[in-house]
Amino acid sequence: MKKTSYNVSRRTFLNHSSKATLALGIGSSLIGSAFLSACKGNSEGGEEVKSLLSTGFEQTPLGYAFEALEPHIDAMTMEIHYTKHAAAYAKNLAEASTEEGVDVNKPLEEVMMNISKYSTKMRNNGGGHYNHELFWKIMSPNGGGQPGGDLGQAISGGFGSFEEFQKQFEDAAKGRFGSGWGWLVLDKDNLLKIGSTPNQDNPLMDISDFQGIPLLGIDVWEHAYYLNYQNRRPDYVSAFWNVVNWTEVERRYDTLMKG
Ligand code: MN
């Protein structure tokens, strides 16, 4: 009997907790409500957040040539990555969306935040599509350097220095066993956090141990670097700093903090 009541209360707890997780635990914060209302298509005050942070279900054109990130990321890797790997995630996401009745006119973020309700196919391919769409945007041939503005200050304040931030981010990316992603996110308390996720999971997903809104992500699947770097993932991770589009990452941060 005792066990039953434990189970009931645990179920009640899980029910409440999954609702909180559904909102990434940020539903009551300013950024959370702006983000969520934008995700729900509520135009009230959330247009900028929506345009910056709402991901569609189809592949968007790459904003630069395949060879533009050389020598840090080679043209062949970029071409195969974009036209084969990422394209396959988008195609399979479209299939899964049809099969599971998802409205593809809604932001993909909404599916990510409720991913526990969908199939493994949705999780892998929706995550894969979301992650890559972000990845292409936060890289640029004119990238590199250090972030300025409020993000630059938040990074220095939160991690001690830009160099210490880089070290922690590199450690997360290098330390992810097997395939996955390293992340810089804004968490529910508006703090910057570094972490990683396995496979094509991401920090928006309600099933993820590491939660937040992605600002910067690095793909550490072997397909992202093997042609040029072979087993030397650390070299690829170090080279990544040369192509980070801090302007875009700052825009994401500023928009969320403003929202
Ligand atoms: Mn990839």
How far does residue 99's CA lie from ligand 1's centre (Å)? Answer: 24
Q: Is 6 exposed, middle or buried (0-12, 13-18, 19+ CB in 10 A)?
A: exposed
For residue 137, pLDDT beyond 90: yes
Question: What pLDDT, on the 0 to 100 scale, is given for residue 53?
Answer: 72
Q: Rounded CA gap, 247 and 40, in Å?
A: 26
Centroid of ligand 1 to alpha carbon of 234 (angstroms): 16
Lowest mean pLDDT among 43-52, 113-122, 134-143: 43-52
Domain containing residue 149: CATH number: 3.55.40.20
Q: Answer whether residue 68 is part of any domain.
A: no
Around Cβ 83, how many Cβ atoms within 10 Å? 13
Residue 101 lies in a domain: yes
Whole-number Cα distances in Å, 47 to 40, 42, 139, 237: 11, 8, 24, 34
Q: What is the pTM of this model?
A: 0.85
Q: How far is the CA of 130 from the centre of ligand 1 (A)?
A: 11
Q: Provide CB contacts within 8 A for 90, sequence distance 6+.
A: 57, 58, 59, 125, 129
> Is there a domain that residue 182 lies in?
yes
Q: What DSSP designation does 60 have?
A: P
Task: Determine the residue type at 128.
Answer: G
The structural domain count of the chain equals: 1
110 occurs within a structural domain: yes
Does residue 10 belong to any structural domain of this protein?
A: yes
* Cα(35) to centroid(ligand 1), Å: 26
pLDDT, one tens digit per residue, over 216-251 is 999 999 999 999 999 999 999 999 999 999 999 999
Does the residue 180 lie in any domain?
yes
Residue 63 falls inside a structural domain: no
**What is the Å distance from ligand 1's center to 162 Cα?**
26
Q: How far is the CA of 200 from the centre of ligand 1 (A)?
A: 8
Q: What is the mean pLDDT of the chain?
A: 86
**pLDDT digits 0-9 by tens, 186-217:** 998 999 999 999 999 999 999 999 999 999 99
Within a domain: residue 172? yes
Domain that holds residue 13: 1-52+73-259
Q: Is 237 helix (H, G, I), strand (E, B) or coil?
A: helix
Amino acid at the residue 28: S
